[in-house]
Amino acid sequence: MKKYIEGIQNAMLYISKKKNAIFLGQSVKYPGSSIYESLKKVPDNKKIELPVFEDTQMGMTLGLALNGFFPITCYPRYDFLILALNQLINHLDKINYLTNDKFNSRIFIRTMIGATKPLNAGPQHTQDLTKGLKKILQYIKIIELKKNTKILEVYKKALNDKIKIILFVEDGNLYSK
């Protein structure tokens, strides 16, 4: 069985081959979190390293999508994604309405439930907000990657999903297994 991280890496490499794919976020180009490890196979010219400004990052993600890019926006922890909820809930989730159903781009949002083993990062870095977001988001699909297997297949299927904006929730505890 392949390791979880290898599955994520292979999926990101596969996606990076899309001409308009662009990866953005914290630790996408430089070390600092598991997100960096997951993008090691992705060419650097496909990555945009950003500072800590999550709300602006999600706004940039939408702007890139509106300009023909396929952004894969990375938030190292669910807890950090909280700061982007304004853009996520009020703009991305309502983009079909705001564009009279003319939005035709794809956006993948990656986040992670922080690891509790071998070291517990504490309550500010290990929250799982999936249940709450499923109640709030109406048009964004949430996919939880809870197993080591078939990660590449999940991403390939998502590339053909009728829902264009998908939030992928990774499990930090599986990164080290």
Instruction: Give the domains, in start order, of the chain with CATH numbers.
Output: 4-174 (3.40.50.970)
Distance from C-alpha of 147 to C-alpha of 153, rounded to nearest angstrom: 12
| pLDDT of amino acid 2 | 60
Tens digit of each residue's pLDDT (9 = 90 or more) over 89-120:
999 999 999 999 999 999 999 999 998 888 88
What is the reported pLDDT for 40?
96
β-strand pairing of 107-113 with 141-145:
unpaired
| Consecutive H or E run containing 156 | helix 151-159
And the tokens for 31?
Answer: 């070390």
Q: Say if residues 142 and 129 touch (Cβ distance below 8 Å).
A: no
pLDDT tens string 24-75: 999 999 998 899 999 999 999 999 999 999 999 999 999 999 999 999 999 9
CB-CB contact of 129 with 82 (8 Å): yes
In the sheet with 107-113, reading across from the earlier edge strand, the strands are 47-49, 21-25, 70-75, 107-113, 165-171, 141-145
Measured CA to CA, the distance from residue 125 to residue 96 in angstroms comes to: 32
Residue partners of 57: CB distance under 8 A and separation at least 6: 24, 25, 50, 73, 75, 84
Residue 147 has what pLDDT?
Answer: 79
